[in-house]
Structure 1
Amino acid sequence: MSTNKMYLFFFVSTMLVVPSKMACWIESGNGKSCQHEGHTLALNEVYENNWGPRCYKCTCRTFGLSCCDTGTVIIREGLPSNCKVIKKGCHEEAVSKTDESKPCDGPVRAVLG
């Protein structure tokens, strides 16, 4: 299997198992470099957006730019009623509704990007 097909298989597989709030995507390239938000990236060069509100990491490959969201996303389904989700930088945290300085007292599920 060619490298390009392996990358495509990996990213399609990832998108099938990752919740809808998280995503990976591919932007086309020219085989020598990639363009992203006004930046030119050389092959295998990495670009990271760590300041939100959407945080992601991209790598320039021969087929184009491969990007995935980063950070933590709290799964709201099953979140205890005494908890709420707040955003801190690239990450979401489950905290007490009555005191945001305290973590959620109950089962919380999260996905890392």
Structure 2
Amino acid sequence: MKQLLKKGLMALMNKGVINIQIDQGYIKQVVKDTINTALERDLSGVTWSMEEFRNECCGGKASRWVTYYIFTDFKDEIDYRNGGWLIPAKGRGQKHIIFAKQAKEWIERNKYRIDWTAKLPE
């Protein structure tokens, strides 16, 4: 019965018998809110490797560049022990653990503090 009503309503709409007005501003806001919620939820509890972080948040900058200009320059505020998003590698063979959601939010808030055009020292 429900399917039959739905088909009948769709047929009437397609013939132009029924017109429905939808506020475009409302639709845009609903879509924007839905996308933002999905993106935020998507990164909750996710960790990234250095490779994923540099590609997602650093425009593909080299690992050495990210280490030098982000991990070193902002060490105290991004360190996990200080409430940050980075658990640094402890040595050779170890990997950084990066909390994706917090890292992405931090980069967005601090993007103008980072010298994105800087070259690595020779």
Q: Taking structure 1 as the reference length, what is the TM-score of the superposition?
A: 0.21
Higher strand proportion (structure 1 or 2): 1
Bigger radius of gyration: 2
Quick one: higher RCO (CA 8 Å, sep 6+), 1 or 2? 2
Q: Taking structure 2 as the reference length, what is the TM-score of the superposition?
A: 0.20
